[in-house]
Structure 1
Amino acid sequence: MVDATTAILVVVRLLVLALGILITYYSFEAYRRTGTYYMRNAAIGFGIITLGVFIEGVLFEFAGVDLAVVHVIESVAIGLGFVVLLISLRR
């Protein structure tokens, strides 16, 4: 049986994943409308961050990887996504 903390974690992670997908989608749509590489990079950056959230959930829930390890993997993906966003904003 799943304890309450794990259930809350799963629900919160699913909400974050859904929001990440929406932000990535709207960033990509903005890129398609404007054609600017800023919006393309925003879509890529948010996509990488969202992918990190997804991978963390899959590895923890289905592969049984240790929680600390999946947090490190997610943090690396978030860091890479932020680097892409930073590069996009600095140009």
Structure 2
Amino acid sequence: MTDYVTFVVALKAVTLVLGGLITYFATNAYRRTGSRPIGFLAVGFGFVTLGSLLAGAAHQAFGLPVNAVLLIESALVAIGFGVITYSLYE
């Protein structure tokens, strides 16, 4: 069980770093260009990254059950992908 938790925490950390970098680069691109779609892209990736962060924190720090954690993560990821889809449509 310990190896599993360690592996999940490591993957969440990688997801947080990469998602944070994508959000950062998209935000910088939005500031340079002022392009609304790129701004929405940054917000969308921010939601996806936030979903991963909050899910991991809710489980590890606050001991929420796995079902609640999955609900939080899935909701934020779905919102993020919706915003990303909108950014590509616009």
Query: What displacement does 1:86 show?
Result: 1.0
Query: What displacement does 1:65 show?
Result: 0.3
Q: Deviations over 1:10-32 (max 9, x none)?
A: 00111001111000000001101
TM (norm. structure 1) is 0.94
User: Could you say which residue in structure 2 is the equivalent of 1:61?
Assistant: 60
Paired letter, 2:70: H
RMSD after superposition:
1.0
Q: How far apart in 2 are the matches of 1:27 and 1:34?
A: 10
TM (norm. structure 2) is 0.95
User: Could you say which residue in structure 1 is the equivalent of 2:5?
Assistant: 6
Deviating 4+ runs (over 2 angstroms): none
Q: How far apart in 1 are the matches of 2:64 and 2:30?
A: 36
SS at match of 2:63: coil
Map 1:1-91 to 2 at 5 A: 3-91=2-90
Q: Deviations over 1:47-88 (max 9, x none)?
A: 011111110011000000011210111011000001111111
SS at match of 2:64: coil
